[in-house]
Structure 1
Amino acid sequence: MPAKVGAVKVISLSSSSIFNIGDVYNMAPQATAKTFAGGGSFNTGDGIRIRLNRADTFVNDSEVIDQPIVNNA
C-alpha cells in the first residue's frame, strides 16, 4: 500500500546511513557494527532509576561473520 508522506527535513546522514521514503523492495547495508554493553547502558528518558547490584557483561561470540555485506551495491 503506497504511503503518503508530508514534508521531510534531513539534517545529516552518516556515511553508512540508509534513507528511504516510500515503498522499499530491498535495502542493503554497506557497513556493520556490533556493540556489547551491560545492563542499563542504553536507557534514555526522564527520571529513570536503575539499580544493578552486579553488572558484568560476558561475551562469547563464536560467529566469525554475523552479517555479510558482500555484493551489496
Structure 2
Amino acid sequence: MPAKVGFVKIITVSSAGVFNIGDVFSMTPHATSKTFAGGGSFNTGNGIRIHLDKAETYINDKEVIDQSLNE
C-alpha cells in the first residue's frame, strides 16, 4: 500500500544496516563479526559485583576466513 512520506533525516546507517522507504518484499543485510571476551565481559545492570582473581582469555584462532558472505 503506497504511503506519503515527509522529510527524512538520516544520520547514519551501519555497514550491515538497511534503510528503506517504500514497498519492499524482502531485505537481507549481511554481516559477520567475531568477538573474544573474558569472564564478566557482557554483564549489564545495576549493582553487579564481579570477582575474578586470575581470569585470562586464551585465543588460538588459526582460521583465516570463518564464514564467507555470498552476495
TM-score (norm 2): 0.57
Deviation at 1:18, TM superposition (A): 5.1
Number of matched pairs: 56
Deviation at 1:63, TM superposition (A): 2.1
State the secondary structure of the residue aligned to 2:62. Answer: coil
| CA offset digits 1:14-66 (Å, max 9, x no partner) | 222257xxxxx88451x322121111111111111111111111001122211
Q: Which has the higher contact order (CA 8 A, sep 6+)?
A: 1
Contact 2:37 2:57 in 1 (8 A): yes
Distance in 1 between residues matched to 2:63 and 2:13, nearest whole Å:
30
Gaps of 5+ in 1: 1-10, 20-24
Percent of paired sites with the same residue: 60
Gaps of 5+ in 2: 1-10, 20-25
Structure 1: 4+ residue segments shifted above 4 A: none
Q: What letter is aligned with 1:51?
A: H
State the structure with more CA Rg.
Answer: 2
TM-score (norm 1): 0.56
Structure 1 vs Structure 2 CA RMSD: 2.7
Distance in 1 between residues matched to 2:18 and 2:32, nearest whole Å:
12
